[in-house]
Structures are given as C-alpha cells and as structure tokens.
Amino acid sequence: MAETLNGLGVSPGRAAGRVCRMAGPPELPAPSPVTDADAELALALDALRATAAELAARAEKAPDADAKAILEAQSFIADDPGLHESVETSVRSGRNAAHAVDEACAHHRRALLDAGGYFAERAADLDDIRNRAVAAVLGLPVPGVPDPGHPFVLVAGDLSPADTVNLDPGSVLALVTEKGGPTSHTAILARARGLPAVVACRGADDIGEGTWISVDGQLGEVEVGIGEEAATAVQRRAEEDRLRKATSRGPGRTSDGHPVKLLLNVGSAADLTPSGHTPSAEGAGGFDAEGVGLFRTEFLFLDRREEPTYEEQVAAYAAVFRAAPGGGHVVVRTLDAGTDKPLPFLGLAEETNPALGIRGLRVSRVRPEVLDTQLDAIAEAARATGAEAWVMAPMVTTVAEAADFAARARARGIARVGAMIEVPAAALRAGRLLEELDFLSIGTNDLSQYTFASDRQHGELADLLDPWQAALLQLIADCAAAGQAAGKPVGVCGEAAADPLMATVLVGLGVTSLSMSAPGVPAVRESLAAHSLERCRENARLALATDDPGEARKLIASGR
C-alpha cells in the first residue's frame, strides 16, 4: 500500500528505486570497565585497519582525482602507527575500544589544529576516521553514503558537503532528506548533479531500508511502498525524459520568441568542462548556454590561509573566461566570504551573528586592498582573453555602496558593473541602484534568508525559505520593473532559477536572464519553450496573488 509524503521539491525530475539510508555519526555509549585490555586493543586496531581498507577501496572507485587523493590520504591516516600507539595508550589507561578510538582521534585532531595553517585543514579527516572506526567497534552501520552495489534512492536526516564528496551519480537515483531547506547543501548538490531531490520531508526518517519509493523533485512528493514494477515504469519515463533533454539546444525563448538568457553558475573552470557526471551521453548537453551568469570567485580560494596573489587570480579568472560558452560572457561576482564559506586568509574576526555581519562587499570596509587587487586581476584577465566580463558585488545594501563599487570597477576599465540583490534594503531601492549600475542579479537564496529572517541552513524553517513565497516574488517583481524602466538587465542567479515552473513565473515578472547549475538548463529551456510570454505573465500574477507557496506551485503546475 503506497503512502505519500510531502516535502519541498528542490531539484526537479522523477526517479524511483530502493531506499538506502545514510547512518549518522555513531554516539559513544557510557564508558564501561575494561576486563580484557588485550581484547579491547585488538578490537580497536581491527576497526582502524578495516576503516583504512574501506577508505582505500573507495579511493579506487573515486569519481575524480580530487576525491581519490582525499580518500587515499584518509586511508593512510587510519593506518598511522602514531594513531595506533595513541589507541594503545588509551586502552592501557582503562578505556574500552570505542572510547580509545575516540580519544586517540581527538588527541591527534588537536595536534593538527595546533600546528595551524594548512596542517589544520587535515583535522576533518580524523572526524571521518573516528566515525567510521567507532561504528565498526560498536557494530553500527558505517556512517556516510552507502554503497550497496545497485542503484538506490538515498534517504538521510541531512547531507553535509563531506558526505557528498564521494556520491556516485551513477548509483544514486534521487535524494530525500528529513531536514534541510531549498538552499541546503543537499539541494545545491542535487541541482548541480541533476538528481531529483525532496528536502524537509516529514516522515522520511521512518522510511525503511530497501523500500521501493518514487520521488518527484518538482512537486516535492515521495511515494513510499510502490513496488518494483511501478518503480521500473517511473525509471523508464525518466530515462526518456533525460534523452529528450540531452538533445535540447539553443538560446532561451518563450514559445512566442521572447528571449531570456540562459546562463551558468560556476565556481571554477572545471564546472565548464564536461565530465562523466553529466547525464547525457554526449556530456555537452548541459553546457549549451549563453554565458556564465554567476562566477563565484571565492570557490577558488576556500580553505586558503594566504591571500591568492594577483598573478594567480589573473590565471584563474582567465581560465574561466576562456572556457565560458556564449563568446566569453561572464558575470564575475567579487569574493563573497560569509558564514557558510569562510575565507581564512581574510582573517575576519569571529562574530556572534555572522550572517548579519562583515560579509560580501562589506569585507572591503576592513580589507579594501583585497577587493582592489581582485578588480585589477579581473580587468587584466578580461583584457588578456578578450572576454566580455561584467562584475558585480555581493551583499550590496545601499546606493552609496553601489556607487563606490562602480567607481572602483570602472576606474580599472571594467565596462559593465552591477550588484547582487540579496538584501531587502537593496531590492526596495532597485531603481536608485540602477542609476549607478548597469545591471542587477537577484540572489534568491540570500534574499529569502534576509527577507524572511530565517537562516538558510535551518531545516525547521524551510517553509519560510520556499522561493514560491509571495513576499519574495514581490521583491523580485519590483527589481524587474525597475530594470524595465531603466532599460537595464535584471537577472536571477539564485537556485530558484533552475526550477522549470518558477522560471516561467520569473520571466513573467520581467526577469531578463536565468542563471543556474549546468544540469538545470535543458529543463528550464524546455519549460520556457512551452509557455508564451503572456502565459508566463499570467503565472506571475497567479503566484503573486497566492499566499500559500505549496498552493501556488500546484496551481501553476496544473495549468489553471
């Protein structure tokens, strides 16, 4: 008997298969007295050796060189004689196997953190080894993404970036999480990989291992207990759908020919190189776009303790400009450091409320030279490659900030200067901003967070972060109207742009470009081609008039 669960659809598409659950990190039981220290030591060391072997086996199957190197290093550390020695010391002082592994890992973790610099970056490896080895000692399921040897739907509480480094798109059919919101790591990863996903799915924790389920990543519906035959039918339709989309090409257009630029969100040149991850057979299907609408430059420098040099930046930006589709049209966002992506080399002080503190453009209040060097490097890379590089600043809040940024960029010969709209204050003054700037790009993830006063990673508040919330759409409508009045482009580069239904609403509101992860482009292109501009405007009116986001989505999906 099938049962339907409802969550937030965050990555469109349908898929069905058997459930594999991801176990969380094991908790330590209360310490117990040790009667046979040799047996405890053997148990602990066997667990570490098994962990090393498992990590080495995963490294062999790693989808890319980076993941392989990470897993090899972890395997090597799990086998480290120094770690084994610490475990022995701990057992001899009366700890049982699980506690000894925990204590030894904690000891070495601290030592690495004390060493500082890039040595400290290895500390996270010990967390993973600790979790795996403690689970092995306690006979609990191995934490992390399972590897059952057949395709599966991954069901978890939530997914962290570390969980997903080894996610094999060949075996994971879809993602369902009990927690998480539309801007959680799960959602972003799913869209980047083109996997259907439903987050904030109440009841997902109770879905049993091995159950056949189907996932609708558009409507946010999960059907539990459908049976193998129904699952096969869903998979067959999904495959046909994929093949059709893989052949989709060309610029974005509504059915009556209204142009909407379809652009890519990238973090480096690697995101512009077709890899084995793309679902289409030719690989290039997802990369037929009209340029890059969001180049997140900070992704090149995450974890860096030393500021990247001017020369290094020129080379990294030039690589993206050369790889970009659409004749090298690239919108470069200057460094966006913040709560979820600290840049160690900036040396920013800890803040009690970092989302409301020194982030984005505000960093240039304390480190103005970092922005100046970056603008110099962008200008030079654009000159060297002949790319049509536009720049925009993140977290612009006032007209004065926009004017200052524009002056600094234009002084370096950068022709088109814009701002991200993430702060409601900026959205409310979009018309004035466009007197200083050439374009706006709306970051729906942060604009939601700041408009609804809800942390983007907060699972309990996912409903408030739903991009179908009418208040968010109202702010987008106001920005788009300001753009039309000024005759200047206003795009959306938040992940909402990748939702094929939402894309029709955004176009109806007057948005001129949609920028998203490459796998999202074909579905959006197809959706726009199936709607006239008037129909998009009708969808926009309907969405603005509907207070309940779920209701708005269903109304527009059903074509009423």
For binding to other proteins (CB under 8 A), which residues are involved?
73, 76-77, 80-83, 85, 108, 111-112, 114-119, 122
Smallest CA-to-CA distance from 394 within 423, 367, 353, 428 is with: 423
Cα–Cα distance between 174 and 457 in angstroms, integer? 20
185 assigned to active site? yes
**Nearer CB in complex with other proteins: 80/127:** 80
Least spacing, CB of residue 136 vs other proteins, in Å: 19
* Helix/strand/coil for 255: coil
- The residue among 128 and 495 lying less far from other proteins, judged by its C-beta, is 128
Angle of the 500-509 helix axis to the 533-545 helix axis, nearest 10: 90
Name the burial class of residue 311, with classes exposed (0-12), middle (13-18) and buried (19+) by CB atoms within 10 angstroms of its CB: exposed
Nearest distance in Å: CB 273, other proteins: 18
User: Min. distance of Cβ 45 from other proteins in angstroms?
Assistant: 15
Looking at the Cβ atoms of 131 and 214, the one nearer to other proteins is 131
292-296/329-333 β-pairing? parallel
Supply the minimum distance, in Å, between the C-beta of residue 284 and other proteins.
27
Residue 198 gets which letter from DSSP? E
From the list 185, 277, 329, 531, the catalytic residue is 185
With beta carbons less than 8 A apart as the criterion, state whether 425 and 397 touch: yes
Rg (CA), the chain: 25
Residue of 475, 474, 481, 488 whose CA lies nearest to 510:
481
Q: Give the number of C-alpha atoms closer than 13 A to the C-alpha of residue 82, restricted to the C-beta side.
A: 10
CB of 84 to other proteins, least distance (A): 9
Beta carbon of residue 281, minimum distance to other proteins (angstroms, whole number)? 30
Q: Are 363 and 371 in contact (CB under 8 A)?
A: yes
- Shortest Å, Cβ 37 to other proteins: 22
Query: Phi and psi of 155, rounded to 5°?
Result: -115, 130
Answer for the pair 348, 336: CB distance below 8 angstroms, yes or no. no
Question: Smallest distance, Å, CB 51 to other proteins?
Answer: 14
From 201, 493, 531, 536, active-site residue: 493
Shortest spacing between CB 69 and other proteins, in angstroms = 8
> Which residue bears the tokens 């159950």?
211
16, β-bridge pairs:
214
Alpha-carbon span 447 to 430, nearest angstrom = 13
3-state per-residue secondary structure call for 232-246: HHHHHHHHHHHHHHH
Contact 449/465 with Cβ under 8 angstroms?
A: yes
Rounded Cα gap, residues 500 and 477, in angstroms: 18
Query: Do 218 and 495 contact (CB within 8 A), yes or no?
Result: no
Segment (H or E) for 138: helix 123-138
SS3 (DSSP) at 444: helix
CB nearer to other proteins: pick between 85 and 282: 85
Residue 532, φ and ψ in degrees, nearest 5: -80, 165
Sequence-ordered strand ranges (E) for 204-347: 212-216, 221-224, 261-266, 292-296, 329-333
Q: How far apart are CA 344 and CA 121, in angstroms?
A: 11
Strand pairing partners for 9?
198
**458 is known as an active-site residue:** no
User: Least distance from C-beta 350 to other proteins, angstroms?
Assistant: 23
Q: How far is CA 221 from CA 71, 199, 293, in A?
A: 35, 10, 30
Q: How far is it, in rounded angstroms, from Cα 162 to Cα 156?
A: 14
Q: Hey, which residues are catalytic here?
A: 185, 493
